[in-house]
Chain A
Amino acid sequence: MPTDPIPKIRIRGLRKRFGDKQVLDGVDLDVMPGTSMVVIGGSGTGKSVLLKSILGLVEPDEGTIEIDGRNILTMSRHERETLNRQIGMLFQAGALFDSIPVWENVAFGLLAQQKMSRDDARKRAGEVLSQVGLAASVGDLSPAELSGGMQKRVGLARAIAAQPSILFFDEPTTGLDPIMGAVIDGLIVDCVKRLGSTAVAITHDMASAVRIGDRAAMLHRGKIVWTGPAADLLQSGNEVVDQFTHGRRDGPIQMELRK
C-alpha cells in the first residue's frame, strides 16, 4: 500500500443540493496515490455528481476537495484548467463527439493542448486504440457506427490518450453484457497499471467493483457510509453495503426508496 501519506484525492464535508434535494450531504473520501477506489451506491444517489464536482463541472455548495494537498475549489480558472489536464474521464454513456471521426475523438485532448500536429495525433490515436483492443482502422469510423462495447473502448482510449495521472470511470460496464463488461474491466485495470494512475470508478456492478478496485466506498443518503478493501465488499459487516451487494429487497435502503 501507499508509502506517501498525502492522499492523491482528499474530500471533506462535500455538500451539494439541487433544488430541495440534498444530493451530497457531507462526503468524506480519501484516495491514495496509485490506488483504485470504487464508489458504489444506488441509482440517483449522487455518484456522478461526486465525480463532476472533482472535475469542476458541478460547483459544490460546501466542503473541500484536495488534489495533491491543494484545494481545487479555491484555485484560479487557469490553475484549474492546468490541473484538469492530469485527469482523464470515461463518461457514463461514452459522451463521444459524434460530429468527428473516432481517431479525432481519441486525440482530442492532445490536439487541444496543441502538443502535436494532426498527422502525429492521428498516429498516436491509432496506438492508443490498439491499447484498448481496437484496430487503428476503427479511427476512420464515426462514433455512431460503433457498438456499445466499442464506444466504451473509444471513450477509454480518449480518457487515457494524454496519459493522465488521475482517471475517473463512471459506470464503465453499465449496459454491456457480462463478458464485454469483464473485458472492459480488464482494459481499465491494464491502463491504470500502465500509467501508474490513481483511479476512481463508479459502479453498481459487484463483479466489476471487485475486479477494478483496491478499495471501495459506499455512498448512501449523501454520505460515505463504509470504506474498506474492495475484496471485503461481500462480507463488509455493514448493513447498507450488505443489502446493496447482495441485492436484498429488505433493509435500510428500501426505507429510503419508500419515502
Chain B
Amino acid sequence: MIVLDWLAAIGRAAFAICRTTGAVALFGAEGVSHIVRPPYYGRMFLRAFLEFAYFSLPVVALTAVFSGMVIALQSYTGFSRFNAEGAVASIVVLSVVRELGPVLAGLMVAGRVGAAMAAELGTMRVTDQIDALGTLSTNPMKYLVAPRLLAGTLALPLLVVVADILGVAGGYLVATVKLGLSPSAYLNNTFNFVTTNDVVSGLAKAAVFGFLIALMGCFHGYNSKGGAQGVGAATTSAVVMASIMILAGDYVLTELFFAH
C-alpha cells in the first residue's frame, strides 16, 4: 500500500512538472511571437535592456575578475609541479570564455534581474495593473513580456564579452604580479589558444541563458497570485528555476557544441 502511495505521489509530481513545462513553453512561444509582430514597445525594451546590461555590469565584472584570478592561482598549483606553468594562461582563457563567463554571469543576473523582474510583474499582477493594461488597448504579453525576453537574449552576450575580458585580465594580473610569469608569454598563450568557436559558443550560451532568465522572471511574475506572499514566492521560483535551467542548459549546450 505504501508503495502505491509513493507511486501515486511520483505520478502526481511528474504530472505537475509536465503541466508546468507545457505552460512555460506556451508562455514563451506567445512572448516570442509578440517580439516579431507590431506594435513594438521600444521604450520598454530599452528599460529592460538597461536593467539587464548596464545595471548588472558591476556585479558581473567583479565575479569575472575574481574567477579569473582564482583559476590562475589554482591551476598554477597543479601545473607548476609538472613545469607546465605556460598552460595557466590557456586554462584561464578557456574556462572563462567557454564556461565561467556565461554561467557565472547568468547566475548573477538571474539573482539580480530575474528576481526584480518577477517581483515587478508579480506586483503588477496582484494590484490589477496587468488587467488594467488589457482595458487600455494594450496586450500585456506584448508590452511587458516580449521586450524583456528580447532584452535578456541580447544583453547577456554583451555582459559576457565584458566578463570574458575581465576574467582573462584577472588571470593575467595574478599570473604576472603574484606568480611571476612572463607577461608577453602569458598573452601569447592566451590568444594562441582560444578559438573563435570557443568565444562564439560562450556567447550563444549567454543568449540562451538571458532568454531563460527573462522567461522565468516573466512567467512566475505574470502568473503570481495572492498578494505579497505570492509575489515573494514568484521571485524565489524565478531565481531557483532560472539557476537550475542555466546549469542544466550549460551541460546540454556544451554537449551540443563540443561533443563531436
| Chain A residues proximal to chain B, CB less than 8 Å | 52, 55-57, 81, 84-85, 87-89, 91-93, 95-99, 108-109, 112-114, 158, 162
Extra pairs beyond A55-B131, A55-B135, A88-B135 (14, CB < 8 Å) = A52-B131, A55-B134, A57-B134, A85-B137, A91-B128, A95-B127, A95-B128, A95-B131, A95-B132, A96-B129, A97-B124, A109-B137, A109-B138, A112-B136
| 7 examples of A-B residue contacts, CB within 8 angstroms | A81-B137, A84-B137, A91-B128, A95-B127, A97-B132, A109-B138, A112-B138
* Distance from B176 Cβ to chain A, minimum over Cβ atoms (Å): 47
Q: What 1/0 flags go to B125-145 for Cβ under 8 Å of A?
A: 001110110111110000000
**Which residue of B is nearest A48, CB measured?**
B128
Report if A112-B135 is in contact (Cβ < 8 Å); known contacts: A92-B128, A95-B127. no
Indicate whether B39 reaches chain A with its CB closer than 8 angstroms: yes
Among B124, B134, B136, B138, the residue within 8 A (CB) of A158 is B136
Q: Specify which chain A residues have a CB less than 8 angstroms from the CB of B135 in the assembled complex.
A: 55, 57, 84, 87-89
Contact A108 B134 (CB under 8 A): no
Residues of B within 8 A of A57 (CB): 131, 134-135
Contact-residue size bin, chain B (C-beta under 8 Å from the other chain):
10 to 19
CA distance A16 to B136 in the complex (A): 24
List of 8 A-B pairs having minimum Cβ-Cβ separation, nearest first = A95-B128, A109-B136, A95-B132, A112-B137, A112-B138, A89-B135, A91-B128, A57-B131
Output the nearest chain B residue to A159 by Cβ-Cβ distance: B135
Q: How distant is the Cα of A92 from the Cα of B134 in the complex, in angstroms? A: 15
**A95 near B137: Cβ-Cβ < 8 Å:** no
Whether A89 and B137, one on each chain, are in contact in the complex, defined by CB atoms closer than 8 angstroms, is: no
Chain A residue at minimum C-beta to C-beta distance from B143 = A112
Report the bound CA distance from A95 to B120 in whole Å.
13
Contact A91 B134 (CB under 8 A): no
Complex: chain B residue closest to A56, CB-CB? B134
Nearest Cβ on chain B to A33's Cβ, whole angstroms = 20
Minimum CB–CB distance for A170 against chain B, Å: 9
Task: Compute how far the CA of A113 lies from the CA of B136 in the bound complex, rounded to whole angstroms.
Answer: 8
User: How far apart are B113's CB and chain A's nearest CB, in angstroms?
Assistant: 15
Q: Which residues of B contact A84 (CB under 8 A)?
A: 134-135, 137
Q: Which of B129, B131, B137, B138 lies at the interface centre, i.e. has the most chain A CB atoms within 10 A of its CB?
A: B137
Q: A residues within 8 A CB of B129?
A: 95-98
Bound-complex Cα distance A113 to B137 (A)? 6
The CA of A87 and the CA of B136, in the complex, are separated in Å by 9
Shortest beta-carbon distance from B147 to chain A in Å: 13
Contact partners of B132 in chain A: CB under 8 A: 89, 91, 95, 97
CA of A55 to CA of B137 in the docked complex: distance in angstroms?
A: 12
Contacts of B134 in A (CB 8 A): 55-57, 84
Question: Smallest distance from the beta carbon of A154 to chain B beta carbons, Å?
Answer: 12
Cα–Cα, bound, A7→B127 (Å) = 32
- Within the assembled complex, what's the spacing in Å between the Cα atoms of A108 and B132? 10
Residues of chain B contacted by A95 (CB below 8 angstroms) = 127-129, 131-132
Contact B131 A108 (CB under 8 A): no
A109 to B124, CA, bound (A): 17
A55→B130 CA distance, assembly (Å):
13
What's the Cα separation between A114 and B138 when bound, in Å? 11
Residues of B within 8 A of A52 (CB): 131
